[in-house]
Chain A
Amino acid sequence: MSDINTAQAPIPAATQRRHFVRSVLTNPTGLVASLALLVVVASAIFAPLLAPNDPSAVQIFKVNAVAGDGYLLGGDGSGRDIWSRLVHGGRNTFLGALITVVIAASIGVTAGLFAGFYGRKLDLVARWISDGIMALPALIVLLAFYQALGASIYLSMAVFGVMLSPGFFRLTRNLVNGVKHELYIDAARVSGLSDLRIITRHILLSVRAPVVIQTSIVAGIAIVVQSGLEFLGLGDPSTPTWGGMLQDAFSNIYVSPQAILWPGLAITATVASLVLLANAIRDRMQQGGVQVRAPKVLPLAASEPLPQAAPDVLLDVRDLVVAYPANDGWREVVKGVNLSLRRGEVLGLVGESGSGKSQTAFAILGLLSPGGRVLSGSILFDGIDLGKSSQHEVRALRGKRIAYVPQEPMANLDPAFRIGFQLVEPMMTVLGISRAEATRRALRLLARVKLPDPERVFRAYPHEISGGMAQRVLIAGAVACSPDLLIADEPTTALDVTVQAEVLDLLRDLQKEFDMAVMLVTHNFGVVADSCDRVAVMKDGRVVETNTVTELFAAPAHDYTRMLLDSVLEDGQTRTYRPPMTEEMRA
């Protein structure tokens, strides 16, 4: 219950505090929850004014009485006024919840701040204690301690506060670990602020909002548990409590069944408002308060039949527009891209990060991130219009005719499965071959991509091999079904410089061997010069220049291309020579 995750939420700046509170209150859920909470708390505070009768006064002829005659909601099993007991019951409930919350938060947040900030041994000890406390069934412990704590429910709630402190501890500790290496904390340390001051001034500020959410949740848990303890008969029988009222109603359930409704409703309404308030704050923090809803899309215009492309053109992308939903309609990341790729040709797609080159590649694969849409334009692959094909038809092409080599090798292997399985499974699905046949082919492929000891790699889990090896595995997986088109998205960016050259060589060799068309997405002109026949330069979601590599390097037509080339030359990173093949595979 206390493990609702808030750790990743961005923290609003201190200056936005007032605005933040207002925006939580203007959210309908937040407003209703706050108002409901206000009503319940106020009625507990002003209970003596709201209650027409003394909550403990017994009228013997009103035992289990129906509503009316001065008893708004009827009488309980001893002839006391249910309504008066209900409003008075809120008092002890809120006091109990307050005690729990204050103790849980002060222990948990303090321990979390210090454990997170100082780390190491303190952190280890604190984490062990926190895990230990969380392994205890809290209600059982409270029952066991009942004789020692005495009839006062508040002492039990204080102990319960200690038992709920791990929730605050873990939350705060993780948040502190997240921010303690931020630059502004380092700056504060360099400028000579004491640790205590850094913790209280800077770090406490950034953990405030998640702690407020946790407080709201913990208050809810405390109210439920307290009523449970009172229902079991723990606590002072002379005080009116919601749990005690439920106990009384339970013993009279056959005589006066409706009496179990009111205290339960009071508890549920109070706790629900606390949770909804927490949800409203969290939503506000996560989304900036604005509901992002995917705008309506017009169906792709049924344009006139496209002029048939030249017979050797494999991929023809025209006026491609890709967009993601944003606060105000669609945000276009690809704004009308035109590309074409002949069979067996290597095209470099170059541009800075954010220029839309990866999104173009994903659109061709039909694998845009959730929410992403092709708004207009066409993608013709070997005469098939991918934009007008069904999901199923596009899926049938993937892996078989269009393949993909990703950027981050380690992130692109499923950590839970052996490498062999990750090669065998797609081959069995795509080619419809037996497991034995797929295994044979996989081992051959691993040898083909020059992995030493293919048998061992086949049996290994992804975390047992290096990044360079992982990229070879991914390349093997991509060419497994002899595709016509290979889309390689920055295939060398995440690798060591020495390994980069080897992987590029491998890609080039495989391209010749399988006679594949390759779309090589990169930001590195060195790679382009090394591997590509033609190159398309992208900027702000558009292709600004397309040319053969030789001509583009000799005479860049567009200013942007010239700028990119110049910056590369200044950095001295261009590598237009082909490095000698290294025999030893150090990948």
Chain B
Amino acid sequence: MIRYLLKRVVSGIALLCLVSTVTFMMVFGATGNVARNILGENATADQVTALNSRLGLDRPLMVQFGDWVSHAVRGDLGPSWTMSESVASALASRLPVTLSMVTIAVAMMALLSAMLGIAAAVRGGWADRVIQIVSVAGFAMPNFWLGLLLVLTFSVELGWLPATGYVSFSASPSAWAASLVLPVTSLVLSGIASASQQIRGAVIDALKQDYVRTLRARGVSPRSVLYRHALRNAMPAALTVLSVQFIALLGGAAVIERVFAIPGMGSLTVSAALIGDVPVLMGVVVTLIIVVVLVNILIDFLNAWANPKVRMS
């Protein structure tokens, strides 16, 4: 068990190193126009050269990389090129916003798709049809378009919910909740589409197992067979879906944050990408990889709880 998790941690660190290196080479290797982007079209060649040397872009790429790594391991991701704050402090204020939105979305998605998936596996009928419709709709409708439709309906036409803007939880819990309703709804639909189908399949598979017949032959109640035995055995498949969906939602949040003007990691990434604020982009990628690796390790823990065989190896 410990060895298994240790292996996952090492593998996560290796992934982090590899992705950071590749991303650095890509984004810092193509900084030829960055200074002009930042300074604007009217900047003179001297101004551009001066900015390039101030940002350290005139040094060889490997030197820049070494410099970045030696600071990054100490948590210093450098100054932003376009904002007045450091990358680390920009990330520190943005990450909680995105994480709270994505966590709520994943939790809702898990709950709804578990309910739908189990109902479809056991009853078939209406739940099966709902899943089929939701799965096609959720897959085919881009989440930001759904977000736009929701804004149009509930904010522009009905005026029930705020169209844009984010209120922090500490400022007003109720306004915070209201500001998250539409973004979270837009995020979860596609997740439910995929997750409920997977959970349905996993529960059907679990119920087909021989031990289910044996448990029933021993007089175990149908409720226990489904909710205790089948569900526990369907857990690994469901957890895998959740980890895949969590990653998908982190990416999806970028567009959704733009639609609802939420000051999270996504809107930070988009503005940094458009203007070429390379240190911010590096910081975003590194932070999100760490988040993904941590979430995957958490999922592994849960998996080990649900599946005793994993605990042994």
User: Which of A140, A362, A417 sits near B269, CB closer than 8 Å?
Assistant: A140
Is the C-beta of B59 less than 8 angstroms from some C-beta in chain A?
no
Is A14 part of the contact surface with B, judged by Cβ < 8 Å? no
Q: How far is the CA of A433 from the CA of B27 in the complex (A)?
A: 68
Are B250 and A140 closer than 8 Å at their CB atoms? yes
Chain A minimum-CB-distance residue to B282: A144
Measured CA separation A461–B233 after assembly (Å): 14
Given A144-B281, A268-B140, A406-B210, residue A414 in contact with residue B229 (CB < 8 A):
yes
B218 in complex: contacting residue of A5, A220, A415, A477, CB < 8 Å: A477
Partner of B285, one of A140, A402, A474, A481: A140
Contacts of B219 in A (CB 8 A): 395-396, 398-400, 426, 429-430, 481
- In the complex, whether B120 has a CB less than 8 A from a CB of chain A is no
Number of interface residues of A (CB under 8 A): 80
Assuming the A-B contacts A227-B142, A426-B219, A461-B308, are A412 and B214 also in contact, with contact meaning beta carbons closer than 8 angstroms in the complex? yes
Residue of A nearest to B215 (CB): A414
Quick one: CB contact mask for A208-243 with B, threshold 8 Å, 1 for yes? Answer: 000000000000100010011001111000000000
Chain B nearest CB, measured from A325 CB (Å): 13
CA separation between A224 and B285, bound complex, in Å? 22
A264 pairs with B142, CB closer than 8 A: yes
Q: Which A residues lie within 8 Å of B220 (CB)?
A: 399, 425-426, 429
User: A474 touching B214 by the CB < 8 A rule?
Assistant: yes
A574–B276 Cα distance when bound, in Å, is: 82
**Are A416 and B232 also in contact (CB < 8 A) when A135-B292, A141-B285 are?**
yes
How would residues 113 to 154 of chain B score, 1 for a CB under 8 Å from any chain A CB and 0 otherwise?
Answer: 000000000000000000000011101111011001101100
In contact, A415 and B148 (Cβ under 8 angstroms) = no
Residue A128, interface by CB 8 Å: yes
- The chain A residue with its CB closest to the CB of B30 is A148
Is B89 an interface residue when CB atoms closer than 8 A count as contact?
no
Mark each residue of chain B from 246 to 284: 1 if its CB lies under 8 Å from any CB of chain A, else 0: 011011101100110000001001100110101001101
A268-290 residues at the B interface, CB under 8 angstroms: 268-272, 275-276, 279
* Residue from B140, B252, B284 within 8 A of A144 (CB atoms): B284
Cβ-defined partner of B214 (8 Å) among A4, A249, A404, A429: A404
Q: Is A137 an interface residue (CB 8 A)?
A: yes
| Inter-chain contact B210/A411, CB cutoff 8 Å | yes
Complex: A408 Cα to B141 Cα, angstroms: 46
A417 to B224 Cα, complex, angstroms: 13
Chain B CB within 8 A of A104 CB: no
Known: A139-B255, A463-B309. A134 touches B244 (CB 8 A): yes
Q: Kindly state whether residue B307 has any CB partner on chain A within 8 Å.
A: yes
Is B140 a contact of A275 with CB atoms below 8 Å? Answer: yes
Which of A128, A224, A276 interacts with B11 by CB under 8 Å? A128
Q: Are B27 and A228 in contact (CB under 8 A)?
A: no
B213 within 8 A of A: yes
| Residue among B210, B211, B219 with most chain A CB within 10 A | B219
| Other-chain contact of A147, B34, B136, B137, B209 (Cβ < 8 Å) | B34
Interface of A is mostly: helix
How far is A395 from B220 in the complex, measured between Cα atoms in Å?
9
Please name the residue on chain B nearest to A1 by beta carbon. B194
Could you tell me if A426 and B215 are in contact, using CB atoms closer than 8 angstroms? Answer: yes
Min Cβ gap A403→B in Å is: 7
Residue of A nearest to B33 (CB): A147
Query: Taking the nearest CB of chain A, how far is it from the CB of B161, in angstroms?
Result: 15
Q: Of B152, B214, B252, which is in contact with the most chain A CB atoms at under 10 Å from its CB?
A: B214
Taking a contact as CB atoms under 8 Å apart, the answer to whether B152 and A228 are in contact is no
Does A341 lie at the interface of the complex (its beta carbon under 8 Å from any beta carbon of B)? no
Are A144's CB and B148's CB within 8 A?
Answer: no
CB B197 to nearest CB in A, in angstroms, measures 7
User: Could you say which of B34, B144, B152, B214 contacts A253, with CB atoms under 8 Å apart?
Assistant: B152
Taking a contact as CB atoms under 8 Å apart, the answer to whether A264 and B145 are in contact is: yes
The answer to whether B216 and A367 have CB atoms under 8 Å apart is yes
- The residues of B that contact A430 with a CB separation of less than 8 Å are 218-219
Is B29 interfacial (CB-CB < 8 Å)? yes
Given A144-B273, A415-B233, A425-B224: A231 and B215 within 8 A (CB)?
A: no
A476 to chain B, nearest CB (A): 11
**Chain A residues closer than 8 Å to B218, beta-carbon distance:** 398-399, 403-404, 426, 430, 477-478, 480
A121 → B minimal CB distance (Å):
16
Interface string of B79-110 (1 = CB under 8 A from A): 00000000000000000000000000000000
A199 interfacial by beta-carbon distance below 8 Å? no
- Given A135-B292, A136-B289, A246-B145, also A463-B308 (CB < 8 A): yes
A3-B198, A148-B26, A260-B148 known; A412-B210 Cβ under 8 A? yes
A186 to chain B, nearest CB (A): 30
A90 to chain B, nearest CB (A): 15
Confirm or deny: A46 has a beta carbon within 8 angstroms of a beta carbon on chain B.
no
A412 contacts B254, C-beta separation under 8 Å: no
Q: Mark each residue of chain A from 468 to 483: 1 if its CB lies under 8 Å from any CB of chain B, else 0.
A: 0000001001101100
**A465 vs B284: C-alpha distance in the bound complex, in angstroms?**
48
**What's the Cα separation between A144 and B266 when bound, in Å?**
11
Complex Cα–Cα for A408 and B213 (A):
12
> Whole-angstrom distance between the alpha carbons of A120 and B37 in the complex?
48
Min CB–CB distance B72 → chain A (angstroms): 15
* Contact assessment for A268 and B141 in the assembled complex, using a CB-CB cutoff below 8 Å: yes
Q: How far, in whole Å, are A272 and B141 apart by their CA atoms in the complex?
A: 8
Cβ-neighbour of B137 out of A134, A270, A272, A415 (below 8 A): A272
Contacts from B to A (Cβ < 8 Å)? 11, 15, 18-19, 23, 26-27, 29-31, 33-34, 135-137, 139-142, 144-145, 148-149, 151-152, 156-157, 190, 194, 197-198, 201, 208-211, 213-222, 224, 229, 232-233, 235, 241, 244, 247-248, 250-252, 254-255, 258-259, 266, 269-270, 273-274, 276, 278, 281-282, 284-285, 288-289, 292-293, 296, 306-309, 312
Instruction: Give 16 A-B pairs besides A147-B33, A264-B149 with Cβ atoms closer than 8 angstroms.
Output: A140-B250, A140-B254, A147-B30, A147-B276, A148-B26, A232-B254, A233-B274, A260-B148, A260-B152, A264-B142, A271-B140, A395-B216, A404-B213, A414-B232, A416-B306, A425-B224
